Chain A
């Protein structure tokens, strides 16, 4: 089983993780409470820049909760409370003076179920740049839209129908549209919460290819239920269990030679 996973690991033609660069995101003693219930316990982790980090673990282990802390989407849930420090490039994102709107422009998110705006494809991608004032003219905006769609691998398919509704695309195309929308704003980090779980295998393959391309320019954190996907796509993997970070390390090492027994049990399918 370990051998088959090793076969699908990315080859060395891809850029290798630079271990000497400072981590993009640092979490120290993070605790997250939903009302009285503690969902994440004393979490410490360093997420490397320009790489894909995968969060794996059984349902309800807190990986999506932590993901949503990084762009403070948990603020919208009134009973959710976060303590501890999360810093991006050494800036504390829970600092009182920080504008959470700007944070969310720097940290983009792609959701599990594709949720394009019920507007045209062009509008979907152009909305973010427009509200953040990233373009000075229509021509510039057009260029941003085209570039984002190109990077998301969608431009060829929708070039002639940019004014059509975004909800008229297929599931895989919608998810790539959401990715294009996220990168149009020019974020530094992209968070992906199980982006392929609603897609068929071919669409999944396209999105994984895309993630691999994107990591040249973005820091990507992906939550996934599929261990094969984590093995294919990520350089670092974090295994969560019951609200604690059990193990964090290089992907090949986690999947071939985990140090914690719980990790071993999970990847061999004994539970979860």
Chain B
């Protein structure tokens, strides 16, 4: 661009000139600042994405195991005697009332025969207390199966399930070099080997004992430094323990006794498993967990030394349980199947049997009541305030209060529900009806505000046209102002519902926090809702409930995503050009 032109009528003294150094610097500064702004945006997006990925990823990783369960699929012989009732006949009552524990126990012990009585009991307790429920319903539906043998999936207990999912201990196996000679096939036996096969184990155990000893002596040192009366007693105890350990380690006879605080060592030989109690380089003593098929000499390489790396005292499953489960698994009897019961059964104290159906139905009922109350009242209130209310100070006060109510903490609505609905009106506690009433109050301001915005956005020319054709005010509003505003009203309603779906505090106040096993049948039966169920489960001690809680959070989040997705879809679908 050329410089200022002089002369001619209306010479302009300040034309744009982008070629000066000042101008160029300004332009560069502007580019820099815009670039900075863009990068701030990118960084913010990146951080957010990271948080979302980490959060959702964590929940998914934790929660997905809740949707699968381990079962032992074995053949269960159904002997008729077990199902005969007091009248000597087989009926539905007798089938339902039969004791399934012996039936399942016998089926299991048939898979791993020859166990001691104690170990048989342990094997039977690997099953869940509700393992036979499916079998029971199958028999009720088809009593002709009695007398036959059926292949049934028996649900495993929560501890067994956790072991199988998360491998509570690392198991290492080592084929042995020497030939082993067991002294017997069951009970307490000794095994002699031709090579010093157990030398490594002895060394490892000694090392861990030494580690424990030094740990204890470090603590002793620390306490000595602190000093004091109570300390002396503890000190004496510690010193004794350290001395014992060191003595054991350095004992001339190189035989080590294993306890539950060191890694467990077992021998897998001739189809059986022996848990070792005493170790020396080439001779060991132990208890037979699973009987051997013969006490003949086992050739080198045909038997293995097994190590459970995590000491028994650090695990929830004992060595016997681990051994039995691994045996079941190696026999191919353990299956990991999709846990439909998570979605179809009610709550339970047993983690493996607990499901969310009660909470799902409770939530559905509660949200139904909420919708039924809040939608008509909210929309009509908005229509009244927007179109029919006279513009005086009473209306002003109402509007201000509605906006305030939208910001009130939700627990206050719970207290209101407690005081009014439960105490004054004497409605049943913990019922979806009351929960719905409380949530409707919570959601009403949101719906009213969103509906008013939607009504305001309808061009006034439409209403004028309707009036011009001779419609009354009421006809003009309901025929021509409300229908175009429906998409906005619906979006506001769905957002309100999604908000209500996740509310916990007000429902705690009205008592929806009890342990409810039955799936609620009516609006006045006791129920709980999904977020409260999360709260309840997260408090329970059993380890299996951690995964269940995360699984429930996944279900709740899926619901929320669905509802908000529906809101967005509706908004897009009904957007019009005026």
Q: Does residue A76 face the partner (Cβ distance < 8 Å to B)?
A: yes
CA distance A121 to B42 in the complex (A): 48
Q: What is the CB-to-nearest-CB distance from A184 to chain B, in angstroms, rounded to a whole number?
A: 8
Interface residues of B in 454-479 (CB under 8 A from A): 459, 461-462, 464-472, 475, 479
Taking a contact as CB atoms under 8 Å apart, the answer to whether B467 and A73 are in contact is: yes
CA distance A110 to B469 in the complex (A): 9
Q: What is the CB-to-nearest-CB distance from B461 to chain A, in angstroms, rounded to a whole number?
A: 4
Taking a contact as CB atoms under 8 Å apart, the answer to whether A118 and B465 are in contact is: no
Taking a contact as CB atoms under 8 Å apart, the answer to whether B467 and A131 are in contact is: no
Q: Mark A95-110, 1 if CB is under 8 A from B, else 0.
A: 0000001101110111
Q: Does residue B225 face the partner (Cβ distance < 8 Å to A)?
A: no
Q: Does residue B572 face the partner (Cβ distance < 8 Å to A)?
A: no
Interface residues of A in 187-219 (CB under 8 A from B): none
Taking a contact as CB atoms under 8 Å apart, the answer to whether B461 and A102 are in contact is: no
Q: Mark A151-187, 1 if CB is under 8 A from B, else 0.
A: 0000000000000000100000000001001100100
Q: What is the CB-to-nearest-CB distance from A198 to chain B, in angstroms, rounded to a whole number?
A: 12
Known contacts A118-B484, A118-B578, A131-B475; decide if A104 and B462 are in contact (CB<8 Å): no
Q: Does residue A266 face the partner (Cβ distance < 8 Å to B)?
A: no
Q: What is the CB-to-nearest-CB distance from A194 to chain B, in angstroms, rounded to a whole number?
A: 14
CA distance A73 to B471 in the complex (A): 12
Known contacts A73-B464, A127-B479; decide if A105 and B391 are in contact (CB<8 Å): no
Q: Mark B512-539, 1 if CB is under 8 A from A, else 0.
A: 0000000000000000000000000000
Chain A residue nearest to B475 in the complex (CB): A131
Chain B residues contacting A258 (CB-CB under 8 Å) are none
CA distance A115 to B459 in the complex (A): 10
Number of interface residues of A (CB under 8 A): 27
CA distance A116 to B466 in the complex (A): 9
Q: Does residue A249 face the partner (Cβ distance < 8 Å to B)?
A: no
Q: Does residue B573 face the partner (Cβ distance < 8 Å to A)?
A: no
Of A101, A102, A117, which contacts B465 at CB under 8 A? A117
CA distance A73 to B460 in the complex (A): 13
Known contacts A117-B480, A131-B475; decide if A71 and B468 are in contact (CB<8 Å): yes
Taking a contact as CB atoms under 8 Å apart, the answer to whether A105 and B470 are in contact is: yes
Chain A residues contacting B479 (CB-CB under 8 Å) are 127, 131
Chain B residues contacting A108 (CB-CB under 8 Å) are 468-470
Q: Does residue A78 face the partner (Cβ distance < 8 Å to B)?
A: yes
CA distance A167 to B391 in the complex (A): 33
Q: Does residue A111 face the partner (Cβ distance < 8 Å to B)?
A: yes
Taking a contact as CB atoms under 8 Å apart, the answer to whether B469 and A115 are in contact is: no
Does more than half of chain B's interface fall in helix, strand or loop, or is it mixed? helix
CA distance A132 to B465 in the complex (A): 15
Taking a contact as CB atoms under 8 Å apart, the answer to whether A115 and B467 are in contact is: no
Taking a contact as CB atoms under 8 Å apart, the answer to whether B471 and A101 are in contact is: yes
Chain B residue nearest to A108 in the complex (CB): B468
Q: Does residue A252 face the partner (Cβ distance < 8 Å to B)?
A: no
Taking a contact as CB atoms under 8 Å apart, the answer to whether A102 and B470 are in contact is: yes
Chain A residues contacting B467 (CB-CB under 8 Å) are 73, 76, 104
Chain B residues contacting A185 (CB-CB under 8 Å) are 469-470
Q: What is the CB-to-nearest-CB distance from A195 to chain B, in angstroms, rounded to a whole number?
A: 12
Chain A residues contacting B578 (CB-CB under 8 Å) are 118, 167
Taking a contact as CB atoms under 8 Å apart, the answer to whether B466 and A132 are in contact is: no
Q: Does residue A58 face the partner (Cβ distance < 8 Å to B)?
A: no
Known contacts A73-B464, A118-B576, A118-B578; decide if A78 and B391 are in contact (CB<8 Å): yes
Max chain B C-beta neighbours (<10 A), residue from A76, A108, A111, A115: A115
Chain A residue nearest to B479 in the complex (CB): A127
Q: Does residue B577 face the partner (Cβ distance < 8 Å to A)?
A: yes
Q: What is the CB-to-nearest-CB distance from A133 to chain B, in angstroms, rounded to a whole number?
A: 11
Max chain A C-beta neighbours (<10 A), residue from B465, B470, B471: B470
What interface size band does chain B fall in?
20 to 34
Q: What is the CB-to-nearest-CB distance from B551 to chain A, in angstroms, rounded to a whole number?
A: 46
Q: Does residue A23 face the partner (Cβ distance < 8 Å to B)?
A: no
Chain A residues contacting B577 (CB-CB under 8 Å) are 167
Chain A residue nearest to B577 in the complex (CB): A167
Chain B residues contacting A118 (CB-CB under 8 Å) are 462, 484, 576, 578
Interface residues of A in 113-149 (CB under 8 A from B): 113, 115-118, 127-128, 131-132
Of A76, A101, A113, which contacts B470 at CB under 8 A? A101
Q: What is the CB-to-nearest-CB distance from B513 to chain A, in angstroms, rounded to a whole number?
A: 48
CA distance A185 to B461 in the complex (A): 19
Chain A residues contacting B461 (CB-CB under 8 Å) are 111, 113, 115
Interface residues of A in 1-32 (CB under 8 A from B): none
Interface residues of B in 545-578 (CB under 8 A from A): 576-578
Chain B residues contacting A78 (CB-CB under 8 Å) are 391
Q: What is the CB-to-nearest-CB distance from B536 to chain A, in angstroms, rounded to a whole number?
A: 49
Taking a contact as CB atoms under 8 Å apart, the answer to whether B462 and A115 are in contact is: yes
Taking a contact as CB atoms under 8 Å apart, the answer to whether B468 and A73 are in contact is: yes
Known contacts A111-B464, A115-B465, A167-B577; decide if A132 and B484 are in contact (CB<8 Å): no
Chain B residue nearest to A103 in the complex (CB): B470
Q: What is the CB-to-nearest-CB distance from B482 to chain A, in angstroms, rounded to a whole number?
A: 12
Known contacts A78-B391, A118-B484, A118-B578; decide if A128 and B465 are in contact (CB<8 Å): no
Chain A residue nearest to B459 in the complex (CB): A115
Chain A residues contacting B471 (CB-CB under 8 Å) are 101, 104, 127-128, 131
Taking a contact as CB atoms under 8 Å apart, the answer to whether B465 and A116 are in contact is: yes
Of A111, A113, A167, which contacts B468 at CB under 8 A? A111
Of B391, B466, B470, which contacts A117 at CB under 8 A? B466
CA distance A223 to B444 in the complex (A): 46
Q: What is the CB-to-nearest-CB distance from A246 to chain B, in angstroms, rounded to a whole number?
A: 28
Max chain B C-beta neighbours (<10 A), residue from A73, A117, A182: A117
Q: Mark A74-112, 1 if CB is under 8 A from B, else 0.
A: 001010000000000000000000000110111011110
Chain B residues contacting A127 (CB-CB under 8 Å) are 466, 469, 471, 479
Q: What is the CB-to-nearest-CB distance from A101 to chain B, in angstroms, rounded to a whole number?
A: 5
Known contacts A78-B391, A117-B480, A167-B577; decide if A104 and B470 are in contact (CB<8 Å): yes
CA distance A115 to B460 in the complex (A): 10
Q: What is the CB-to-nearest-CB distance from B124 to chain A, in angstroms, rounded to a whole number?
A: 72
Q: What is the CB-to-nearest-CB distance from B369 to chain A, in angstroms, rounded to a whole number?
A: 34
Chain A residues contacting B576 (CB-CB under 8 Å) are 118
Chain A residues contacting B484 (CB-CB under 8 Å) are 118
Q: What is the CB-to-nearest-CB distance from A113 to chain B, in angstroms, rounded to a whole number?
A: 7
Q: What is the CB-to-nearest-CB distance from B47 to chain A, in angstroms, rounded to a whole number?
A: 43
Sample of 15 A–B contacts (CB below 8 Å): A73-B468, A76-B464, A104-B467, A104-B469, A105-B470, A108-B469, A108-B470, A118-B578, A127-B479, A128-B470, A128-B471, A131-B475, A167-B577, A181-B465, A182-B468
Q: Given A111-B461, A127-B469, A128-B470, list of 15 further CB < 8 A pairs?
A: A73-B464, A78-B391, A101-B470, A102-B470, A104-B467, A104-B468, A109-B468, A110-B468, A115-B462, A117-B462, A118-B484, A131-B471, A131-B479, A181-B469, A185-B469
A: which residues have CB within 8 A of B?
71, 73, 76, 78, 101-102, 104-106, 108-111, 113, 115-118, 127-128, 131-132, 167, 178, 181-182, 185
